[in-house]
Structure formats: C-alpha cells, structure tokens
Structure 1
Amino acid sequence: MVMKGVLEHQKMWSLVVAIALAVLITVFAAFNSFGETSNDDLNDEERVEMEILERAYADVQEEPIIVVAEEIQKIKIFDAQNKLVAETALAKGDVIEEESLKVLLNKADLLVKSGSIAIYRIAE
C-alpha cells in the first residue's frame, strides 16, 4: 500500500535525525568534559582523533536537516456491530487503490471526522 512507503520514509528520516542528534550530543559532551585542549600536548594518534572529531562537528553544524511532515488522513470503517473491518492511512493527494476498501468505503456512512481521522460505519 502507498502508506507503508510513506511511513517507512518518515521512520527513515526520524532515524537520521536521531543519529545526527546523538552525534551532536556526543561531540558537545566530549568538548565540555575535556575542556580546552591544546594540540601541543597530544601525541600523533590523539591529534588525528581530535581532527576527526573537529571535522565531524563541523559537518553536523553545516548540514541542516529539513524534515517535511506530511499530513496523513486515517480512515477507519466499522460494520453494523461496531467491529473494525478496514482501516488505512493516506498521505495528502493519495487515493485508495484497493478495490475491496473502495467498496466498503462506498457502502459506509461518515460518522465523525476530526483532525486527521475519519470514522465510517456500514449500516446493514
């Protein structure tokens, strides 16, 4: 279904943001816990590690992360006994592709629509 792709896309961006934040927090913690260090007191290995940290810090600072939140409409369809028979989630501009879901939606009456959720009921 189209929604699975959208949700996976959002999960991927959430993971990217979480990793970027973790790197940023780690770098800030490293700088704050060690205070000012001069490269003169460091051996070659420590100097290389410091340069890598400085480059990573610069990369995180330079690359803004832009996340676009998509508006998702959730649709739930209940039968006459108030049992959930179908549900889906659509991004803005998406259409329902499943024929069985289209048939159920055409049979159902809209009960309530609030924010991003619409609840339908089939009266048999």
Structure 2
Amino acid sequence: MFKKILAATAMLFAVASWAAVDVNKATEAELDSLKGVGPALSKRIIEARKQGEFKDWGDFMSRVKGVKDKSATKLSGEGLTVNGQSFSGHAPANKAKENDAKKVVPTAHKAPAKP
C-alpha cells in the first residue's frame, strides 16, 4: 500500500513540474492558458518583463499591477513560477521598505521636574 501511495505522489509531482509556466520565459498564450490569468494580466506581465526578467516573486508582484499575496498564491498553485520558484506565501520585502523600517527617529525626553 505504501508503495502505491509513494508512486502516486511521485506521479503528481511529475505532472506538476510539466505544468509549470515560468513567468520569465512564457509566451502570452502560455500565460493565458493558466487559470486566473486573462489577456489583460498576461499583457501586463509581458510589458513589465520588457524592463528585464523578474528576479523573484517580490519583484514580480511589485512590477505587475494587480498581483498581490492572495493572487500570487493562486497563480503559483496553477503552475506559475518565477525563475522556477513557486510562491512561498509571502513576498520578500523591498530593501527600501526595510531601510525605512529600520530608521529610528530620536525623540526628546525631558528630565522629570524636581520637587
């Protein structure tokens, strides 16, 4: 029984790997073939890709209007990848946002008044 389950699991992974569509290499027709990607989104992807390949999911989501965590999760589930990587559930933060978060604004503290 265990061997049958293992074989079935291996077959599912094989089918999933064939179904993968990399956003940096896919044609407009290949993008359109994915559930959740229509003609408008595939055109936005192709246009954004003209600026250069997408480095990761964070880069993809920041450059393609309308793709956020929820839609990225769905698209990844349908087989969309960025550089062969599926969406992991959260996009890496932009370095600019990280730097803003690290900035500390000094505040003036007054010494307590003496009685």
Give the TM-score normalised by structure 1.
0.27
Comparing both chains, which one has the higher relative contact order based on Cα–Cα distances under 8 Å and sequence gaps of 6 or more?
2
Instruction: Name which one, 1 or 2, has greater alpha-carbon Rg.
Output: 1
